[in-house]
Structure 1
Amino acid sequence: MILKGFKEKSNKKYINKCVNNRVVATNNDAIKSVGVLVDSNEFSDLEWINSLINEIKVNQNNLKILSLFNNKKEETSVFNNTFSEKELGWKGQFKSQTVKDFLSTKFDLLINFYETNTLALQVVSATANAQLKVGINNANLEINDLIIETKIKDKEIFKSELIKYLNILNKISNE
């Protein structure tokens, strides 16, 4: 029990270190690659994610989805790339190759589409190499650059607001 507390504290320190060391480089380049981070207990609508990516005008090959999945015995995830909280080690290190691959990818946009403040999701979000990080209502304010005040069930509102802000920032390709 005490070790669990120390492990949690080391991961929170790691998140703060990532947030403080992050350098945000601004540019007017259109978004070409998108990462989506979800909690599969809250959200599992793969079709909605694909329609969002189409509206942002990003090729499906440049989309990576990572899902936190604390699997029960008979449940399966609709997402291919999953990880569990048990795979989070000390100081923000993951045991899962799936998470390591996701974190090694450079994204133009990272969508943190989860409401729970699970430590594993926050570590992935803080560590991810993305120019622009977008979250929803209960998201960690320090990790995200843009927070859209909606609930996860209001996904169409999230989509329209995200498109609106990306257009304002000239991040959607006109091609």
Structure 2
Amino acid sequence: MFLNYLKDFSTKKIVKNSLSNVKHLSSDTIIKTVGIIFDESYFYERESLVNELIQNGIDETKIKILVFKDKIKKNETFDYPVFSHKDLSWHATVDKKEVNDFINEPFDLLINYYDTEKVALLLVSHLSKASFKVGFATVDKRLNHFMINTNAENYKVFVEELFKYLKILNKI
């Protein structure tokens, strides 16, 4: 327990320090591929959110999902990639292949769908190669290019605001 706290503290310090050196690049690309990072500890409407994205014109085959869970039981199986605190190393890297594949995917849009800062989520979002990152205003401002001020339970409001501003920015 205490070692997990130290690992989280160390990783959070590394991520926060590297966020101070972030240079936001402007991207004029139209959004075709979407990656979504969920925190399943608080938000269980994953499929509803994906359906809202599909209804707004995103191709279902171009959406990839990565889910964070606080605790993963031994015999638990999932139909989507899942990671937890156990997949983090002491040096702010991720040891799971599915997570590294997600990080290295050059998404046109990355949706950071979590409104509480957890070290594992911050790390994966920061390391992602996505060209445009969207998240909640309650998370570190340096992590996302665009922030929406709502809570995670209001996924319809989030998607509505997201597409309103994507149209203004000529991203869709």
TM class by shorter chain equals 0.7 to 0.9
CA distance in 2, matches of 1:46, 1:77: 16
CA distance in 1, matches of 2:106, 2:81: 17
Q: Which residue of 2 aligns with 1:139?
A: 139
Cα deviation for residue 116 of structure 1 reads: 2.0
Range that drifts further, 130-139 or 10-19: 10-19
Could you list the structure 1 runs, at least 4 aligned residues long, displaced by more than 6 angstroms after superposition. Answer: none
Q: Which residue of 2 aligns with 1:130?
A: 130
Q: Which residue of 2 aligns with 1:108?
A: 108
Cα deviation for residue 31 of structure 1 reads: 0.2
Asked if the contact 2:20–2:142 (Cα under 8 Å) also holds between the matched residues in 1, the reply is no
Structure 1 residues without counterparts, runs of 5 or longer: none
Within 5 Å, which residues of 2 pair with 1:22-171? 22-71=22-71, 73=73, 80-171=80-171
SS at match of 2:24: coil
Q: Which amino acid is the alignment partner of residue 120 of structure 1? A: A
CA distance in 2, matches of 1:74, 1:95: 17
Cα deviation for residue 84 of structure 1 reads: 0.8
Cα deviation for residue 114 of structure 1 reads: 0.8
Cα deviation for residue 67 of structure 1 reads: 0.6
Cα deviation for residue 9 of structure 1 reads: 4.3
CA distance in 2, matches of 1:14, 1:110: 22
The alignment of Structure 1 onto Structure 2 pairs a total of residues equal to 172
- Per-residue deviation, residues 122-167 of structure 1 (Å, max 9, x unmatched): 1011111111111114211110111111011111111110011100
Aligned-residue identity in percent: 33
- Per-residue deviation, residues 69-95 of structure 1 (Å, max 9, x unmatched): 133649967661100111111222111
CA distance in 1, matches of 2:25, 2:71: 38
Asked if the contact 2:109–2:134 (Cα under 8 Å) also holds between the matched residues in 1, the reply is yes
Structure 2 residues without counterparts, runs of 5 or longer: none
Asked if the contact 1:110–1:132 (Cα under 8 Å) also holds between the matched residues in 2, the reply is yes
CA distance in 1, matches of 2:53, 2:67: 17
RMSD, matched Cα:
2.5
